[in-house]
Amino acid sequence: MTTILAPTTKIATVTEIVRPPAGTNQDTLALSLGDTVEAAVVKSLPDNQYLLNIKNASVLADSQVQLTAGEKITVQVERLTPGILLRMTSTAQGEADVINKYLLLHRSNPAALGELFSKIGEIIINAKTLPPSLTKIDSNLEKISQISEKILISGINRSYVNNLTGYAKSLGLNMEYDLVKTLVQGSNIAKGDDRTSVKGLFMDILNNLNAFMDDVSNLNDALLNHLKQLRTFTEESISSLETHQIINVLSRESDGPFILQLPFAFPEGVRMQNIYIEREKEKREEEGGKSPSFRMTIFLDLDQMGEITLDTRFQGKKIDCVFHCQNDDISNFISAYLEELKEILEGAGYDVGGLQCLVEDNVRLMRHEYLARQPFNNRLVLNLFA
């Protein structure tokens, strides 16, 4: 049996060598005491198990700490018998600490992304007083504002409702599987098309602020405080975007849904609405040559109608949709527009199957139960090194 330790904490017990290479002893795994080797996380399995690859041998590990498929950890051999004892290096610990930091940020403020949209207008007004040498920051903030206006969903603006891919790209929510390593190394340089996204523009602003504030001896207190506030807002905005990215990477690695938060404009400010898109696992074997089946679950929190869950299933051009609301009045209101919705969907080329609105005793409980079933949610409640 092989045990893997973090620098100070046990994290995994390897229970089985699945496919050892020819001539390899299963008890020693061709390792020597003191060796430093790289282990690749091949696959995340149920019940906190992982398939690792160490020296071309596939190893099944039962881990107390969450790892991510595709990542590589460096371990040192501390014992060969009884049972192999491996210890992770500080680099691997650093990656786990970064992941833990962002997961805790998400738990403490899941709607943090909405603050970006709520505050950007005030930030731009204040930026007009910046010195001429910082005009690029003002220009980038204007670009962020223009993107935000297109993204923000309201009664008169729904441009991104039918273009979720464009929405994600505009924010800079690319699926960067090397994002954790980039954060550990301290690099925040946007690449390629990401420079024109909200995240890329904020990164450019932060680089300019840091360069300008490298020497603050000639800055008056008012300007210095203004720059500090702008830098804090910029750092928090980048952090909220990267948190969204990491949550999606971890969710997809656990075969969970793709997660998007859409900003809706309300009289009191911006409120984020959550969308979860996943391929239906139970139908994959039944599909054969058919188009894959997807489920999109939308949780809405509205002023007049309260909480509503929209459960939609797609297979090719076939679509089924069920609204879940809190009472008969809301159900009757939604139902009155279902025929019109059907005509719109059919006009867009969809084959509409079921389309109905149901009254539920507790719509909020539906949301909690849905999230409790998702692998990414289980990761969020863990203290990685407790």
Domain segments of the chain as ranges: 2-88, 99-248, 280-380
pLDDT confidence of residue 321: 95
Euclidean distance between CA atoms 292 and 138, whole angstroms: 46
pLDDT confidence of residue 75: 74
Which CATH class for the 2-88 domain?
Answer: mainly beta
Which CATH class for the 280-380 domain?
Answer: alpha beta
Q: Residue 44, CB half-sphere, CA atoms under 13 Å: how many?
A: 20
> Each residue's pLDDT tens digit in the chain (386 positions)?
454 555 444 444 444 444 434 444 444 467 777 777 888 888 888 877 778 888 888 877 767 667 777 777 777 777 777 666 667 665 555 566 666 677 777 777 777 888 888 888 888 888 888 888 888 898 999 999 888 888 888 766 665 555 777 888 888 876 454 555 555 555 444 444 467 889 999 999 999 898 888 887 888 888 888 999 999 999 999 988 888 888 887 787 778 888 888 888 888 888 889 999 988 765 555 555 567 889 999 999 988 899 999 999 999 899 999 999 999 999 999 999 999 999 999 998 999 999 999 999 899 999 888 888 876 666 544 333 33
Residue 268 CB burial class (10 angstroms; 0-12, 13-18, ≥19): exposed
Give the CA dihedral 237, 241, 243, 245, nearest 10 degrees: -170
Which pTM value belongs to this model?
0.67
Q: What angle do CA 225, 230, 233 make, to 5 degrees?
A: 125
pLDDT confidence of residue 363: 92
Euclidean distance between CA atoms 217 and 341, whole angstroms: 62
pLDDT confidence of residue 182: 53
pLDDT confidence of residue 59: 78
From the list 261, 75, 89, the residue with the least C-alpha distance to 184 is 89
In which element (H, E) is residue 21 found? Answer: none
pLDDT confidence of residue 27: 44
Pick left, alpha or beta for residue 3 (phi over 0 → left; psi -120 to 50 → alpha; otherwise beta). beta
pLDDT confidence of residue 14: 47
Residue in the structure block whose two tokens are 């059919």: 346
Euclidean distance between CA atoms 252 and 220, whole angstroms: 48
pLDDT confidence of residue 216: 77
Contacts with 181 (C-beta within 8 Å, 6 or more apart), sequence order:
95
* CA 205, 208, 211, 214 torsion-angle sign: negative
